Amino acid sequence: MVLLIQFILYLYIFVIGIVIGSFLNVVIYRLPREVSVAKGRSFCPNCNAPIKGYHNIPVFSYLWLRGKCADCGGPISIRYPLVELFSGLLAVLVFAVYGFSFAWLVVFSAGAILICITMIDFDTMTIPNGLIIALMAPALLSFFVFPQVGLLSRVIGIFIISLPMLALALFIPDAFGGGDIKLMAVAGFMLGWGNTLLAAFIGVVLGGVVAVYLLVKKTADKHMAFGPYLSIGIMTALLFGDIIIGWYLNLFGL
């Protein structure tokens, strides 16, 4: 009976996640195009036909329609259901770590914004200021949710990575974008200086691997979006930062 209740609860959280993921797809598509995310029905990007409500069920509708628009038959990108699915899985993961609590709401909200940042940065090589401002909300709320991260640690976290990134960007053109710098400043307040270092380390390692791949592949465009890898690092630090840092210190007997 207990297992059944847990399954239903996790399923409920997953459904909440994929529904929010459906909205994130709207933000990811509309925000770079300066289209209101609050007004107007969802529409097919191929024929602009409004999407009917029963054709807009997260994940399920994509499978039901076999990845095609019900009006024009044009292909629907698989990334739409993938974003929804990933949002649902992220909601479940955050729930497994924090339970059904205010901390879950804050961390999942940050994760949802980071998903938008990741996809938009991949698409446009920019991070909209609106998303950075939106990330400030869970960052500020984290001060009350995670009181173990002191104010001094948060203030240091604002500058410990963003300031070196800014210096590099001033001396090395295109080293980092302004959005990356602002992202790490806001994340620094949310994480505190220790987890900010961890987030940046994860981002640099992942971004470095991709950069090496692009060099080996000899692609014509050597520019790459760095925000997605920083976002992975930030989310990892939010969920498991203290565990990873504790493991690292124990490894060296510190």
pLDDT in tens, 44-64: 777 877 777 777 888 888 888
Residue 81: partners with Cβ closer than 8 Å, 6 or more residues away: 58, 59, 62, 63
pTM of the model: 0.93
Residue 238: partners with Cβ closer than 8 Å, 6 or more residues away: 107, 110, 111, 190, 191, 195
53 is a domain residue? yes
Containing structural domain, residue 238: 139-254
* 221, pLDDT greater than 70: no
| 83 phi/psi in degrees, rounded to 5 | -60, -45
Q: What is the C-alpha separation between 10 and 130, in angstroms, rounded?
A: 31
44 is a domain residue? yes
- Output the pLDDT for position 222: 61
Q: Under a CB-based contact definition with an 8 Å cutoff, are residues 185 and 230 in contact?
A: no
Helices (H) and strands (E) in the chain, counts: 10, 0
171/229 same-domain check: yes
Residue 40 banded pLDDT, cuts 50, 70, 90: confident
Quote the tokens at residue 64: 């039901």
Residue 251 banded pLDDT, cuts 50, 70, 90: confident
96/143 same-domain check: no
125 is a domain residue? no
- Smallest CA-to-CA distance from 18 within 112, 107, 99 is with 112
Q: Under a CB-based contact definition with an 8 Å cutoff, are residues 31 and 120 in contact?
A: yes
215 is a domain residue? yes
